[in-house]
Amino acid sequence: MSRFEFPRGRARLATLAIGVAAAALSLSATGTAFAAGSGGVTSDGVIYVDHTLYRTVATPTDLSHTKAPAQSWDVLYNFGGLQKSVAEVAPGDPGFNGGRWQVHAVSAPNGYAAALASGDLDGDGVLDAADEVWAALSAGDLVDNGVVKQFVCTLNRVP
Ligand SMILES: [Ca+2]
């Protein structure tokens, strides 16, 4: 038995602790990104789908910890306060998954004006449809930072 065994064991424990702390940090960052006021889904949340405003209905049910396959979700792009969120589909659209949303956080590395310049296809001053988001993403003026939340929530068209 070597006298170095104990220090090596401690080093391994420290590495594990750092990993756990990093995971906790990343979880809390996710929660903050989705908090009210960040352009996410709140009780008075309003979301663009295909140039139309929709309102979230009822309290979103957090399903972040389920292991549902990716194809059973519809993508919702959260702009972290830059503008209202944009969803791929609305109730009644082909492929609508019943309001099962997978939230992707997007950011504008070159500034929001650059994202608008490459994505605002109809020139109304906002990215208000999935094809506009995709245009800005493919231009590199929006970056998809990945899934930050999954939940179930119905959308109603804003009258
Ligand atoms: Ca637009």
What is the share, in percent, of the chain residues with pLDDT greater than 70? 67
Neighbouring C-alpha atoms within 13 Å toward the C-beta of 112:
9
- Whether 47 and 96 map to the same domain: the answer is yes
| Bigger pLDDT: 23 vs 91 | 91
Say if residue 41 is in the same domain as residue 114: yes
> pLDDT tens-digit profile of 46-64?
899 999 999 987 666 777 7
CA of 102 to the centre of ligand 1 (A): 22
Q: Which protein residues have a CB closer than 5 Å to ligand 1 (ion)?
A: 120, 122, 124, 128
d(CA 79, CA 66): 24
Residue 131 alpha carbon to ligand 1 centre in Å: 9
Rounded to the nearest angstrom, the distance between the alpha carbon of 76 and the centre of ligand 1 is 16
**Cut 0.75: pTM above it:** no
User: In this structure, are 133 and 147 located in the same domain?
Assistant: yes
CA of 28 to the centre of ligand 1 (A): 32
Tell me, in angstroms, the distance from the centre of ligand 1 to residue 154's CA: 23
Q: Regarding predicted confidence, which is higher, 31 or 70? A: 70
Q: How many domains does the chain have?
A: 2
Verify that 63 and 115 share a domain, yes or no.
Answer: yes
pLDDT score recorded for residue 64: 75
Same domain for 79 and 142, yes or no, is yes
Q: Read off the amino acid at residue 85.
A: S
Q: How far is the CA of 95 from the centre of ligand 1 (A)?
A: 23
Q: Are residues 21 and 64 in the same domain?
A: no
Q: Indicate if 59 and 110 belong to the same structural domain.
A: yes
- Give the domain extent around 43: 37-157
User: How many angstroms does the Cα of residue 84 sit away from the middle of ligand 1?
Assistant: 12
Residues 19 and 48 in one domain: no
Q: Which of 6-20, 55-69, 76-90 has the lowest mean pLDDT?
A: 6-20
72 with 131, same domain: the answer is: yes
Q: For residue 91, is pLDDT > 60?
A: yes
For residues 153 and 86, membership in a common domain is answered with: yes
Same domain, yes or no, for 46 and 83? yes
Taking the alpha carbons of 32, 36, 39, 41 in that order, is the dihedral positive or negative?
positive
